[in-house]
Amino acid sequence: MEIWNTIMEQGVLATASEILRWFFMLVFASELIVDIIMKGIGIGAILGVISVAAIVFTYAERKVCAFMQVRIGPNRVGGRYGLLQSIADMLKLMSKEDIIPEGCDRVVWALAPMLLFVPSALIYAFFPFDKGAAFADVNVGVFLMLAISSQAVLPFLMSGYASNSKYAFIGGIRTVAQMLSYEAPMVFSLLGVVMLSGSMRMCDIVEAQSQQLWFILMQPIAFVVFVISATAETNRTPFDLVEDESEIVAGPFAEYSGMRWALFFLAEYANLLSVSILFLPGVVWFGLKVLAMVFVFMWFRWTFPRTRIDQMLAFSWKVLLPLALANVLFTGVGIYARQWM
């Protein structure tokens, strides 16, 4: 009964970590060792979440896309519904030959996919998965998260440059243009949320939503701007100009194969999950909301054509950014008016 009360009060994850901590304290009886072990478990859990998400999302994407395209989708591996398809995909990728293109800059080329995965995974450190269950609950969480996510530009540029391929190079250059221009509206759309909750700490933002309305309802414009720029940030259609298979084949990924390519893939899905979490942090409905958001992104991908690079950049600077700025202005006026009343 007591445990039930704690769970209700603190959330499942926090309770679980408390029990674990208590158990390790019994075994090791040293704060330092227990702290290290707990952080290790945290890292493991986050990596686990990312891998599971990647597996679930690959399957979901195949199924969602199949249903949109009047097909059935995977239906052989793992029963009628092809439940083991992602596992089969993974095994296939791992057993593939690792082709290293001739004339590439070996070190930079090999580093790029790994480096791309770092910011994608690092963002999760600040996510409040549940009440008080964030790996590092820093007071500038939102800021740090944006700063880290913008690091993803570099690995794309690296792989584009190092692949010794013109397609990859064009893709790399496009990435820089695209990500830089969509960072601005994204930041400003999040600014409205920060203004409302009065804090950059992720847990406070979640807390503020459980007390007042959800931010998706209070900041609809910011939400729309965020979703669009997040689509661009994660390089998904209609803004997938980075990989753009009909023009530049696969852009920066063109020269990668096997596990290296899988890392790009993994990073993409990790990003997809993180942007889906970002605007709708909740406590109880967490999973459902995330899945709904992921579905929205998949929906975009399989129904929209691709934009052209100039149209995409113009859209960011001429439409999204003014919208986001206007949203900040109105949010400010609204907050001020409320205080005054």
Partner 1 sequence: MPQTETYTLSMGPQHPSTHGVLQVRLDLDGETILKATPYMGYLHRGIEKLLESRTYVQGVPYTDRLDYVSSMNNNLGYCRAVEELAQIEVPERAEYIRVIVAELNRIASHLVFIGSLAIDLGASTGMLYAFRDREKVLDLFDLVCGARMTFHYIRVGGVSADLPPEFAAKCDEFLKVLPEFMQEYEDILTGNEIFQYRLKGTSRMTKEQALSHNMTGPNIRAVGIPFDIRKVDGYGVYPKLAFDVPVGENGDNWDRYRVRYLEIYESAKLVRQALDGLPEGDFMAKFPKALRPPKGEVYSRTEGTRGELGFYIVSDGGPKPYRVHIRRPSFINLQGLDDMCRGMLIGDSVAAFSAIDPLMGEVDC
Which is nearer to partner 1, 26 or 70 (by Cβ)?
70
Which is nearer to partner 1, 237 or 274 (by Cβ)?
237
User: Shortest approach of partner 1 to residue 235 CB, angstroms?
Assistant: 12
User: Shortest approach of partner 1 to residue 41 CB, angstroms?
Assistant: 41
Residue 298 main-chain phi, psi, to 5 deg: -70, -35
What's the burial of 178, exposed, middle or buried (CB within 10 Å: 0-12/13-18/19+)? buried
**Is the bond preceding residue 238 a cis peptide, omega within 30 degrees?**
yes
User: Shortest approach of partner 1 to residue 309 CB, angstroms?
Assistant: 6
Which is nearer to partner 1, 71 or 76 (by Cβ)?
71
Which is nearer to partner 1, 233 or 240 (by Cβ)?
240
| Angle in degrees, CA 264, 158, 143, rounded to 5 | 75
Which is nearer to partner 1, 49 or 309 (by Cβ)?
309
Give the chain's count of helices (H) and strands (E).
16, 0
Which is nearer to partner 1, 263 or 298 (by Cβ)?
298
272 backbone φψ class: left, alpha, beta (φ>0; ψ -120 to 50): alpha
Q: Which residues bind partner 1 (CB under 8 A)?
A: 65, 68-71, 166-167, 170, 237-238, 240-241, 244-249, 302-311
User: Shortest approach of partner 1 to residue 190 CB, angstroms?
Assistant: 25
Which is nearer to partner 1, 178 or 219 (by Cβ)?
178
User: Shortest approach of partner 1 to residue 140 CB, angstroms?
Assistant: 36
Spatial contact of 133 and 11, defined as CB atoms under 8 Å apart: yes
User: Shortest approach of partner 1 to residue 13 CB, angstroms?
Assistant: 38
Structure tokens at 288: 């459902």
User: Shortest approach of partner 1 to residue 126 CB, angstroms?
Assistant: 33
- Closest of 187, 177, 117 to residue 152, by C-alpha: 117
SS3 30: coil
In sequence order, what are the residues at sequence separation of 6 or more whose Cβ sits closer than 8 angstroms to the Cβ of residue 315?
Answer: 307
Spatial contact of 282 and 215, defined as CB atoms under 8 Å apart: no
